[in-house]
């Protein structure tokens, strides 16, 4: 697909008590090499200075550059989806944006140029990628994993591979999200990956990082890959949290079933059958489903979750 001369991007920012880091993120948006963007902010009930910061930047940039609304106050996933599913927000491309990251100047332009070059007219296409992990003072502490296995529905069912803070998607994908509407997914980025691949679209993973991703203590969906943090998150998920997430994802996919490929529905049906089967049949159906994760640690955890019926 040939890009327009000056493609427009709607940046979808969800905020909640983000006063500590929000200004640095907004400044990084202002430094983007792709200039034709508008910022849509949905605030989920902040009680700190977040709204003051937003209004100050709105006065600085203009009300046409920053659009503000009150969020649904039902958690971060619903806050972001309330923006992504809003048909009144229109652009050529759309980008999720977290309040506490910093985008490198080329972040938007790299994503938009890739989608314009690689996608075809009407194709569901989403871009995500690697990040540079930092501490709260933006000191680099590592990189997120490089995921090399195919980004398919068989992977998306059990793993989210790209943070929403890296995701950019086209109008076809935006329309797809709108058709389904708000769903009880635990995470908007995981939902985008499942919906796009389940409907036959493409999820691209860029191995080159273009954002600084702050890591916070006690984050269940964080990115710190130290042995201790991975083990801690694993224990939290084994307590039943991951199973609850899967319940919500299946409910969401059933809500979107009319938009899924027949092959995706077949995999989903087998997945549900596997979750409720005996131990012997769970392992057999896991193989039949062809489900996989992107790393060896993830594969081991998948088998453990299957054995203990925690998927």
The predicted pLDDT at position 228 comes to 46
Q: For 181-212, b where at least 16 C-beta lie within 10 A, e where not — what string?
A: ebbebbbbbbbbbbbbbbbebbbbbbeebbbb
CATH 3.40.630.10 is the classification of domain 9-214? no
When computed from its CA atoms, the radius of gyration of the chain, rounded to whole angstroms, is: 19
How far are the Cα atoms of 33, 39, 108, 137, 171 from residue 128, in angstroms, in the given order? 18, 19, 11, 24, 16
Distance CA 74, CA 30 (A): 29
The predicted pLDDT at position 6 comes to 79
**Please, what are the averages of pLDDT over each run of 10 residues along the chain (311 residues)?**
72 98 98 98 98 98 97 97 98 98 98 98 97 96 95 97 97 98 97 98 98 78 51 64 95 98 98 94 92 91 90 88
The predicted pLDDT at position 223 comes to 53
The predicted pLDDT at position 240 comes to 83
> What DSSP string describes 45-94?
---SSHHHHHHHHHHHH-TTTEEEEE--SS-HHHHHHHHHT-TT---SEE
Sign of CA dihedral 206, 207, 211, 217: positive
The predicted pLDDT at position 34 comes to 98
The domain segmentation of the chain, as residue ranges, is: 9-214, 227-307
């Amino acid at each position: 697909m040939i890009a327009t001369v000056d493609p427009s991007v709607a940046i979808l920012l969800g905020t909640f008590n983000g006063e500590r880091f929000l200004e640095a993120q907004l400044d990084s948006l202002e430094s983007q090499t792709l200039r034709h963007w508008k910022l849509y902010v949905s605030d989920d009930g902040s009680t700190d200075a977040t709204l003051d910061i937003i209004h100050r930047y709105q006065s600085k940039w203009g009300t046409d550059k920053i659009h503000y609304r009150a969020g649904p106050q039902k958690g971060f996933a619903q806050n972001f989806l309330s923006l992504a599913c809003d048909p009144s927000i229109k652009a050529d491309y759309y980008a999720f944006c977290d309040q506490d990251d910093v985008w490198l100047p080329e972040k938007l332009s790299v994503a938009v140029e890739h989608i314009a070059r690689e996608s075809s007219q009407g194709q569901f296409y989403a871009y995500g990628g690697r990040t540079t992990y930092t501490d709260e003072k933006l000191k680099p502490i590592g990189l997120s994993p490089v995921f090399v296995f195919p980004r398919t529905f068989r992977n998306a069912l059990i793993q989210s591979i790209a943070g929403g803070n890296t995701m950019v998607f086209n109008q076809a994908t935006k329309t797809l999200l709108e058709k389904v509407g708000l769903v009880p997914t635990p995470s908007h980025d995981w939902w985008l990956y499942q919906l796009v691949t389940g409907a036959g679209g493409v999820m691209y993973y860029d191995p080159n990082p273009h954002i600084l991703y702050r890591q916070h203590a006690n984050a269940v969906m964080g990115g710190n890959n130290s042995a201790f943090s991975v083990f801690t998150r694993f224990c939290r998920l084994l307590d039943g949290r991951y199973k609850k997430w899967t319940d919500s994802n299946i409910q969401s996919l059933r809500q979107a079933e009319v938009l899924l490929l027949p092959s995706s529905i077949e995999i989903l049906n087998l997945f549900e059958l596997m979750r409720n089967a005996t131990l012997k049949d769970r392992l057999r159906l896991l193989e039949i489903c062809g489900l996989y994760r992107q790393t060896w640690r993830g594969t081991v955890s998948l088998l453990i979750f299957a054995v203990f019926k925690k998927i």
